[in-house]
Amino acid sequence: METAHRMRAHCSEIFRFSIAEGYCETDPCRDIFLPKTGPVEHRARVAIGELPAFFTMLNADQSARMSQLALRWTMLTMVRSKETCFAEWSELENIGGANPLWRIPYQRMKPRYERLVPLSRQALRLLEELSSLNGALTNRKIGRYLCPVEASKTGAVTGNHMLDVLYRMGLRGKATVHGFRGLASTVLNESGLFDGNWIEYQLAHHPGGMDRRHNPAQFLRPRRFMMQGWADYLETAETGKKIGTRISRTGPFSLSEMQRADLAA
């Protein structure tokens, strides 16, 4: 129903333009009645307590490794599936430096502004495997996309490839790729340690009341700490071993005094 409302509005714009240009006299879309959309339904997601079991199933899965890596990349970076599908090596910056970054151009973003994604240590390790696998698929020459798939029409992994991994794990109707964004938001918000604006910027949402003209690089420093904490949280859930920092409902998220000062700044 939401799609129907959007399509009616889109078509109505075309007709109103046509009226102004003298191509037609009326806008038939205004006479189309559509019931109101229902309440927002959140995407199915893996529960916080089910993450260890999820990773056990993921590691046992025999599907294409590229699809698995694309799913992991999406989880680690908190991006939308489409942003992972068309991620390019040229968008990565300072990979060997202290502040590695993924700069997603505004043309590929749902909200039309450039998005900066700080990369965790775990994301960098994932890039190493992606690079190796990428080279194997393209005759040892790194291709354009992070996650190339020869059989795909676009030449890159698709959202369905990642969704198929979940389906093979028996999670059809129980989890979606998009649901991991909601999971990350829940974990980070419930930790009580991160400003809601940082989380919203990381999800490429516009925080309520915030001017859209703000530089999307804002909060980059604290978001870098936050994203490393999220990556450590996922690795702890997978391995059962505490990896540096930890976020949980019951346990503290440990930050050094220097880090706390940086975040406050």
pLDDT in tens, 72-97: 999 999 999 999 999 999 999 999 89
Task: Judge whether residue 164 has pLDDT over 60.
Answer: yes
Task: Judge whether residue 136 has pLDDT over 50.
Answer: yes
Amino acid 13: pLDDT:
93
Give me the mean pLDDT over the 228-252 stretch: 73
Confidence of residue 134 (pLDDT cuts 50, 70, 90): confident
Residue that is written with structure tokens 């189309």 in the block: 32
Give me the mean pLDDT over the 149-173 stretch: 89
Of residues 174, 203, 188, 194, the one with CA closest to residue 234: 188
Counting every residue, how long is the chain?
Answer: 265
* Phi, psi of 138, rounded to the nearest 5 degrees: -120, 35
Highest mean pLDDT among 117-126, 129-138, 236-245: 117-126
Amino acid 251: pLDDT:
38
Q: Decide: helix, strand or coil at residue 103.
A: strand
Single-letter amino acid code for the residue at 94: N
Give me the mean pLDDT over the 200-218 stretch: 65
**Higher-confidence position of 48 and 143:** 48
Contacts of 20 (CB under 8 A, 6+ apart): none
Give me the mean pLDDT over the 93-115 stretch: 84
CB atoms within 10 A of CB 77: 26
**Higher-confidence position of 256 and 174:** 174
pTM over 0.85: no
Tokens of 251: 């346990």
The domains found in the chain, sorted by start residue, are 2-31 (no CATH), 48-264 (1.10.443.10)
Task: Judge whether residue 15 has pLDDT over 60.
Answer: yes
Amino acid 250: pLDDT:
37
Task: Judge whether residue 48 has pLDDT over 90.
Answer: no
